[in-house]
Amino acid sequence: MGHSVIIDRTSKYYGDFLAVDHISLTIREGEFFTLLGPSGCGKTTLLRMIAGFNSIETGEIRFDEKVINKVPAHKRDIGMVFQNYAVFPHLTVAENVAYGLKARKVGAEEQKRRVSETLKLVQIEHLADRRPNELSGGQQQRVALARAFVIEPTILLMDEPLSNLDAKLRVEMRTTIRKLQRNLGITTIYVTHDQEEALAISDRIAVMKNGVIMQVGAPEEIYKHPANSFVAGFIGVSNFIGCEVAGGSKNTEAVFEDGFCLKLGHGCAYEGKAILSARPEQLYFGEEGMAGTISLSTFLGDFIQYEVMLAGGQAITVNEYTKDGESMKQPGEKVKIRMDEDAVSLFDQETGEALR
């Protein structure tokens, strides 16, 4: 099993630029934890601080109870998988995988055993004598994984490891990584900007923006209950529709520009201008609802994606499963749109913070 990782009020500056802003996180032993956010949000900087490649200006990072701020990178007992694989072109696959064991002065017989076991683990034992220029991108990524796993680290750090692969191979490799991590029980910290990837593989996710943690939670929690409008917009697809919140502590109503009133069926102390967030699958066509006009219909196999122009000129996206619709709606068709009042999110228009 791995260590827990405690990040306590940790910051990193580049000159006057605050790249990581007093972050506090606890990553549990054996957990697959993902740092997710757009480019420049500080996720890779934080990962490099954990790895020992970046200095820590404030706060501390602990592996279990041990403070590792001043511990050199090569003494932190971590495995690292990079975006560019970083395999040595002049070494065979087996030699690449054995490199970390040699650096740790592991005996020759033990090296041979562990390299063989690890190559089988990542399903490339038949490629042991090949060199990197004879491998596909996915095979090179498996070499990088094997090299990280073979040293039996207590913590595995992965920085955008799948971003150079094509879409189909990314899905295959993320499944491989998740299975390996679960079987080995290594505490894993994974950096990505791909929200679908994060949702698919993580036990928990920290969504970052401008060096700050916006929300931490399980994938389902973050998707269904975003803490603010940034998280709602970054994770998955959301329609943001302006409304006026009325009511009180027991029965809250959201009133839209065209007069449509959605009874939310729960209490909310807030009254005033707000933003309602509804994902395409939380909207459906009905006899009553917001008035709109189909502007684009896209058949995507198991569902049809519609772009609907609302009365005020705003375009929103509605997904209708093929099995639920009698026929495909056409551009120009008038529709009424209802919402799943128990699933939509409501945000303060000024702060962007969730109101429920």
Rounded Cα–Cα distance for residues 264 and 27 (Å): 35
> What does the radius of gyration of the chain's CA atoms come to, in whole angstroms?
24
Taking the complete model, does pTM exceed 0.85, yes or no? yes
Query: Which parts of the chain fold into alpha helices (H)?
Result: 43-51, 93-103, 108-121, 137-150, 167-184, 195-201, 219-224, 229-234
Mark the ranges of the chain whose per-residue pLDDT is less than 70.
1, 247-250, 265-267, 356
In whole angstroms, what is the distance from residue 10 CA to residue 136 CA?
39
d(C-alpha 353, C-alpha 229), whole Å: 7
State residue 323's pLDDT score. Answer: 82
Token pair in block for residue 228: 């603010």
Instruction: Name the packing angle between helices 167-184 and 137-150 (round to 10°).
Output: 20
Q: Give whole-number Cα distances, 67 to 47, 153, 228, in Å.
A: 16, 17, 33
Give the list of residues 6+ apart from residue 170 with CB closer than 8 angstroms, or none. 162, 194, 197
What are the φ/ψ torsions at residue 68 (nearest 5 degrees)? -115, 15
